[in-house]
Amino acid sequence: MSVERETGVGSLGELWRRGAAQLRQAGVEEANADAELLLLYLLGIGKSALLRDWREAFPAGKSEDWQALLARRASGIPVQYVIGEQYFYGRAFKVTEAVLIPRPETELLAEAVLEAADRIWPGSGNSAPVVLDVGTGSGALAVTLAAERPDWQVVASDLSDEALQVARSNAQSHGADARIAFIQGDLLSPFLRGSSHELAVDVLVSNPPYIPSADIPGLQREVRDHEPRLALDGGDDGLDPYRAMAGQLPLLPRLPRIVAWEVGAGQAPEAAELLRAVADWGDVRFVKDYAGIDRHVVAVK
């Protein structure tokens, strides 16, 4: 890495250490990791290049930009919003404050849907399922499913037009925009019998808002102050979106063969009961997240 040394600044490693200390003093929990992400973003390099050039001089003229990035993160803005992206299922997704930041545990929901659908539609082809991602946000689930199974028909919906714009951009980035239809609307309302976008859904997947309204003030500042409340607030007990979707399921042209929901801690049993009240599913199971919490409910018929 050939750069001009900026007097008194130091090496990349020294800048990272000082930056991490600055973030730690500001109360950032993942100070080391976030400082590294900011440094990689600023320099436009990967982690292997950073490790290789750890002792190289920090580029001349970048100090002001570096301090600006640190200041934004120190103020509580999530690092993903600062750098404008988050990786999900091995792909980089654009994120803005109009969408929820994709979480690693939601990758397990994508895996569960892929596995369940592959058992029903092995090889797909002409029998490819119609998949609806409700509350798509950044489009992480919809784009991942479309990219992993190119013959699937995928529809992504969201109440927020700003979120849909981000999702469309991500679909374009990953070459899936021609295979995903984006529809604005509230939960399943646009797709019910007789509605403008009536849709016979085979697979319904959703990561809706599930945080109880009263819990939102106690969330981490990064989540509470910067992630969209529309994507967080699930009503008094966090289950309002699930009740609404469960009530709408019989109003679709046909009942989906698979319904897969991400839920909040402790909500899986109640969410499962909502689904069982709608239909006699062959299997209703829970998928644990990396912390051992029942994070996903998957019903298969």
Residue 27 annotated as part of some ligand binding site: no
Question: Which residues are within 8 A (CB) of 199 and not within 5 positions of it... i.e. 6 or more apart?
Answer: 130, 132, 155, 190, 191, 252, 253
| 190, 157 Cβ separation under 8 angstroms | yes
Q: What is the Cα–Cα distance from 179 to 6, expressed in whole angstroms?
A: 49
Instruction: Give CA 140 to chain center in angstroms.
Output: 5
Residue 135 annotated as part of some ligand binding site: yes
Residue 158 annotated as part of some ligand binding site: yes
CA neighbor of 57 nearest in space, from 2, 139, 113: 2
Helix (H, G, I), strand (E, B) or coil at 34: helix
Residue 144 annotated as part of some ligand binding site: no
Residue 210 annotated as part of some ligand binding site: yes
From residue 157, give the alpha-carbon distance in Å to each of 52, 209, 242, 296: 43, 14, 16, 20
φ/ψ of residue 95, rounded to 5: -135, 140
Q: How many CB atoms sit inside 10 A of residue 97's CB?
A: 14
Residue 87 annotated as part of some ligand binding site: no
Residue 19 annotated as part of some ligand binding site: no
Residue 209 annotated as part of some ligand binding site: yes
Binding region = 135-139, 158, 207-210
Report the binding-site residues for substrate. Answer: 207-210
Q: Which residues are annotated as a binding site for S-adenosyl-L-methionine?
A: 135-139, 158, 207
